[in-house]
Every structure is written in structure tokens, then in C-alpha cells.
Amino acid sequence: MTASEFATASRRQRLNAEAQRDCRILESAILESEQAEQRMRAAMIESVQQDLLILRKRYRRLGC
């Protein structure tokens, strides 16, 4: 157990059972949302790269 995990467990020990359960649910939801955010960034980058490729191809085709 890392120092951060120990600190989190110590703080939660003071909470009632319902609050502890809510914390676990929120922790999971935050992790999932952060992962979704990263996937969206990757998808956006891919979209921009595709657009850039199209523009570069046209630029070359026109002989610019």
C-alpha cells in the first residue's frame, strides 16, 4: 500500500458506511470518466490528422 492509498484509507475510516460506499463509487466513476476523456482526445487527434492529410494531398495535387 502506498502512502497515498494509506492516507485515503485513513480518511475514509472516519466516514460512515454510506459515505465510504459513495467514495468507492465516485472513485470508480472518476477513473472511467478520465479514461473516456483520454479516448476522446485520441479520437479528436485522429480526426485532425485525417483532415490534415486531406489538405496536404490537395496541396500537393495542385502543385502548391
pLDDT per position as a tens digit, 38-61: 888 888 998 899 999 999 999 989
Are 9 and 1 a contacting pair, CB within 8 Å? yes
Mean pLDDT of 24-41: 91
Mean pLDDT of 18-46: 90
Tell me the Cα Rg of the chain: 23
Q: Provide, rounded to the nearest whole percent, the portion of the chain with pLDDT above 70.
A: 100
Domain containing 31 equals 3-62
pLDDT at residue 55, as a whole number: 93
- What 3-state DSSP class applies to 6? helix
Instruction: Report which secondary-structure segment, H or E, holds 52.
Output: helix 17-62
Q: Is the pLDDT of residue 7 over 90?
A: no
C-alpha cell at 54: 486531406
CA dist 34 and 46 (Å) reads 19
User: pTM for the whole thing?
Assistant: 0.62
